[in-house]
Amino acid sequence: MIPLRQCTLHGYALLELLVVLTITAIVATVGLPALNRTIEDAKTRADTRLLYMAFSSAHAHAIVHQRYTTICPLDEQSQCSNDWLRKILVFEDLNDNRQHDADERILQSVKAVEDPMVSRSYSRRAVTFSPIGDAWGFNGTLRYCFEHDYTFAASLIVYGSGRVRYGLDKDKNGIAEDSQGREISCTN
């Protein structure tokens, strides 16, 4: 049997509980926006990495297999469109018509964007890499924007030579620049 004097209950005073809750509220107020910003930045990086890999694999496939290879977003009729928020398809473009025909092999697809805070745009409805890997006439900058409490903008730059690279964020403000060094605009 335990003596009565050793059997005491330990609790917290109301003042101690209020101090802990106040500190928790302050940390949450300061920390949550930073956490949201980190999550949005990670989402932007992951999505643009996926797009970069699709463009790069299209480029590599064209060279290795000596075939025209096209990457484009698809409309409701499964034809190439200008809406880069839609599902993006990479395919062998045997007749170089920048349309996916039934006899052309699909190499990769990137799912459509479902997040209303994300925008993707490119000045062309398709990019075709020739059997030697160039993309003359299809060069440009694919803009990717994530707009919420913070705006993150990333870019992929496609050169006529076929080279694909990420746009740089030289001033480290979360908004990448295009091939001319201008910040990507997310207002269009």
Per the DSSP assignment, residues forming a β-bridge with 90 are 71, 108
CATH number of 15-166: 3.55.40.10
43 Cβ contact partners less than 8 Å away, ≥ 6 residues apart: 146
Segment 36-89, tens digit of pLDDT:
778 888 888 899 999 999 999 999 999 999 999 999 999 998 899 999 999 999
Residue count of the chain = 188
> Which sequence spans correspond to the domains of the chain?
15-166
Measured at the alpha carbon of residue 126, what is the angle toward residues 120 and 127, in degrees to the nearest 5?
105
How deeply is 38 buried, as exposed, middle or buried, from its count of CB atoms within 10 A (0-12, 13-18, 19+)?
exposed
Provide the 3-class DSSP secondary structure of residue 60. Answer: helix
Q: 133: left (phi > 0), else alpha (psi -120 to 50), else beta? A: left
What is the share, in percent, of the chain residues with pLDDT greater than 90? 53
Closest CA to 85 of 108, 51, 119: 119
Segment 22-41, tens digit of pLDDT:
888 888 788 777 787 788 88
Alpha carbon 162 to chain centroid distance? 20
Confidence class for position 9, pLDDT limits 50, 70, 90: low
Q: How many CB atoms lie within 10 A of CB 77?
A: 6
Give the chain's count of helices (H) and strands (E): 1, 8
From residue 176, give the alpha-carbon distance in Å to each of 11, 52, 119, 130, 155: 54, 14, 14, 28, 6
The residue among 15 and 108 whose pLDDT is bigger is: 108
Give the mean pLDDT of 135-157.
Answer: 86
Strand order in the sheet with 140-147: 118-121, 140-147, 151-158, 164-166
54 Cβ contact partners less than 8 Å away, ≥ 6 residues apart: 71, 88, 90, 108, 110
